[in-house]
Amino acid sequence: MTTAIRAQVESVPEETVSGQGTDPDADRAMLRTWLRMLACTNIIEGRVRGALRDNFNTTLPRFDLLAQLDASSVDAPDGLTMSELSRRLMVTNGNVTGLVNRLVNEGFVSRVVFPPDRRAQLVSLTPAGKRALDGMTPAHATWIREMFEGVSPHEQRELYRLLGRLKQSALTPTGRAP
């Protein structure tokens, strides 16, 4: 859940006139915004995790993997290799190995060697996996909808826009090496 710091945020000398360079007030504001975003994410993610566990006896990473396979079936109808899957899920190869092992055991995905390259394997949803995913998807959308209910459509658009700016900014390698 990765939270807190707060020290620098909640209590900071009211006017620590910085010799030069950066504004401590601005720093404090950024930290506050970051912590609030972290809190939001953790709250929502935690609720989704719990709901997946309670309603479908599964986990978020498994759901994500199934959803990714389904989404990818458009541009890769025969499935994805482990590497491609790990890239799309933005996790390491080793992580995907374990996840796929479990999902294969559960019968939700299949993993077959890719003849043209015997190192690689194609992972795809089984019919059971597709059914399971289709059962979870509407519920998932509902949970998200409920949690966003108090944010008006206009505010949501604005939030989306601002998060886009932030994402861009966070990805930009400001300081050192490119």
CA 66 to the chain's CA centroid: 14
Report in angstroms how near the CB of residue 52 gets to its own copies at its nearest. Answer: 12
Select 8 or 83, whichever has its Cβ closest to DNA: 83
Question: Quick check: 128 binds its own copies (CB under 8 A)?
Answer: no
- In the complex with its own copies, which residue's Cβ is closer, 112 or 151? 151
| Piece of the chain touching its own copies by CB under 8 A; list 28-36, 76-84, 96-104, 113-121 | 28-36
For 93, phi then psi, to 5°, come to: -60, -50
Q: By rule CB under 7 A, what string of x and - marks binding of each residue 51-70 to DNA?
A: --------xxxx--------
Binding of residue 92 to DNA (CB under 7 A): yes
Under rule CB under 7 A, how many of the chain's residues touch DNA? 30
Asked if 30 interacts with its own copies (CB under 8 A), we say yes
**Position among 77, 174, 177, 178 found at the interface with its own copies (CB under 8 A):** 174
Q: Does 153 bind its own copies (CB under 8 A)?
A: yes
Distance of CA 114 to the CA centre of its chain: 28
